Amino acid sequence: MFQRRKNSFKGIILSLVFLLAFSAFAGFAGANTKQDAAKAYGDFNFSSSKKTSVIVELNEPSIIEAKHKGQKQSKQNLKKVRDNVKANVQKVAKNANVNREYDHVFSGFSVEVKESDIPELLKVPGVKAIYPNVEYTVDTVGEGIEIDALEISPEMMDSAPFIGSDKAWAEGFTGEGITVAILDTGVDYKHPDLEDNFGDYKGWDFVDNNDSPQETPVGDPRGGSTNHGTHVAGTVAANGAIKGVAPEATLLSYRVLGPGGRGTTENVIAGIERAVQDGADIMNLSLGNTLNSPDFATSLALDWAMAEGVVAVTSNGNSGPHNWTVGSPGTSREAISVGATQLPYDLYRSELFTSEGVEYPSAKVMGYSDVEKLKALNGQELEFVDVGLGAVKDFEGKDLKGKIALISRGDFAFVDKATNAKAAGAAGIIMYNNVAGEMPDVPGLALPTIKLDDVDGKNFVKEFSAGNNTVLFTVKFDKVVGETVANFSSRGPVMDTWMIKPDVSAPGVAIVSTVPTHNSANPHGYASLQGTSMAAPHVAGAAALILQANPNWSVDFVKASLMNTAENLYDINEKLYPHNTQGAGSIRVVDAIHADTLITPGSHSFGVFLNGEETEVKAQQFTINNLSKDRKRYSFDVKFNEKGIKVTTSRNLVVQPNRSQDVNFNAHVDASKLAPGYYEGTITVSDGTKTYEVPTILFVGEPDYPRANQ
């Protein structure tokens, strides 16, 4: 294992203190004038006697926080302070039950109390904040598609080569010597493609509290079996029939999500602490909640893990495509938050015919997993069967073999409807909307699927009712679509810090990787899944390759290398995606490995401009890190497209080899010339040979974030 890389953690201490002191959340309650007012984050009913589990954060700093603030701290002192607070909590909240305790990257404990006790807990000396012990779930879309082991081929693993992993392997960078912690549903460490990535110590199970962090098996009375963590681990480092991004990396598993892929804040924080203490170089958290807060407990824990030199990678969430949908821990100030993309694909046009005089102008290809099966529909006239919502019970007693399933949107995921239709023997699907408008494309569906809007869908149902139950397909190639952002991928920005999220994007649609079979006699399990859960481990694996190639790089450098060298992404109409949709762009690992200029941080927010009558000026700063052996002269250009925004900075800057230098610039915003809203720009840095783009944003007037989600 490589020696832990230290992060300079420049500027984060002051920003954390400031934002913790001044950020506003619904459900806030403050008391105790003898210390900084403690805060309650989340939505509590203080008049309820119902029991709830909460996370209590202490004023006393954790071991890592104290270290980076230049203070002395010990486990013994923290225990003494924590025990004192716990005793006082017991006095004001009778029958309070303390569960987990934290001291490394987070200072506090979890406790079960009545909601009505929380205002009194906020008055307890030493309490800094109280957070709800919210549920975390895996960030996948649908149930996925199982793939027979005999069908696995190198061609199916397109995503790792797409980001350049195979080129990094050819240069000798395979992740060897780098340890990646998987905080998830557990990992099937006996899977043939993963067993060599694990040593004697496998990690820890925080659900069952033992040293065997396996996936939840079939038949667990507490809930459904899981496969998510194994799929994530395979994307990072599988080394068998499937090859992950960093196939020779060492893996550790921390089971923080249990049956059904669900878990709690208290276990996620415990997993973060344990991974740091166990010496992980990188940790991957393909999980999330819906709280858009940079100051939620898990986000803060990841900030301090990054401060300690552990590269933290987290999924951005699957609540897109609207802004403000990123959730914790994707809201972390420091961790690398990842959005999901779809790899380039062929776009096909489609037409449907049922009878003369009836047209379906909204008909479009929604998705497919096998292009040959989609093209095979062309010119065919097939019988279709109305199966309602497409639930398993809707297919009972109906013959779908070789026919088309007519399915309505609603109740559950498109991918699950498609999986049910395939299981029933259908040759394809016609999916119609149950509300006005067009449904999203869903790549990787189990069967070729044509989508209709609600109007055309009603006409199709009328045809069936009238006895016209055959449909003629026309399917033709249209064009090649480049890498695009998945519709489900959550968008930023982050409330209070107004940061751009995600930081970067990576493939997350129809990703083939390892899964457990829960059958020791047949351990070779594989499946295609999609979600930002699948995107994050591409970045974690890329970070392992980068660290092997550059063992002395800080976490800031790793993050910046991925952001500074990312490729811009364009939608199907070749329009550049907004920063809060794609981040800095899609990662390219070889370019990141060989970056000789790094700009830190890799994105900027000027924040909020509220003065509507005169020009307001705000300063910002970034650092140019010249890692080359040559003296370099850098020039800068900052562009916002709107009049009323002007950014001033140095015309050029000379940086000596292996040196760093700060660059100051000011944003001048005349709000009287601008409508309230969100504005984005790009900082372009050039060394005369290469150019680097740094995303930047600002807000005029009060940001339009959804208050109900706070």
Q: Which residues are catalytic?
A: 184, 228, 533
**Cα(310)–Cα(180) distance, integer angstroms:** 10
Instruction: Concatenate the DSSP letters of all residues of 443-507 into one string.
Output: TT-SS-EEEE-HHHHHHHHHHHHTT--EEEEEEEEEEEE--EE-TTS-----TTT---S-SEEEE
**3-state SS record for 677-692:** EEEEEEEEEECCCCEE
Cα-based distances in Å from 59 to 41, 107, 117, 122, 619: 16, 8, 20, 12, 31
Could you tell me which residues come within 8 angstroms of residue 207 by beta carbon, excluding any fewer than 6 positions away? 186, 255, 256, 257, 258, 259, 263, 267
Buried b (16+ CB within 10 A) or exposed e, 224-239: ebbbbbbbbbbbbbbb
First-to-last C-alpha distance (Å) of the chain:
41
Q: At residue 258, what are phi and psi to the nearest 5 degrees?
A: -105, -145
The H or E element that residue 275 is part of is: helix 265-277
> Using an 8 Å Cβ cutoff, are 34 and 122 in contact?
no
Q: What is the DSSP string of 73-113?
A: --HHHHHHHHHHHHHHHHHHSTT-EEEEEE-SSS-EEEEEE
CA angle 630, 635, 639 (to 5 degrees): 145
Assigned token pair, 563: 């952001």
Cis peptide bond upstream of 329, omega within 30 = yes
What CA–CA distance (Å, rounded) separates 707 from 710? 6
SS3 339: strand
CA distances in angstroms from 280 to 237, 306, 334, 503, 548, listed in the order given: 14, 11, 17, 22, 14
Is the CB of residue 205 less than 8 Å from the CB of residue 214? yes
Which of the 8 DSSP states describes residue 614? S
Helices (H), 505-641: 532-549, 555-564, 579-582, 589-593
Residue with tokens 């799929």: 231
User: Measured in whole angstroms, how far is the alpha carbon of residue 620 from the centre of its chain?
Assistant: 27
Place of tokens 């110590």: 201
Q: Which amino acid is at 415?
A: V
Total Cβ atoms within 10 A of residue 492: 30
Measured CA to CA, the distance from residue 278 to residue 271 in angstroms comes to: 10
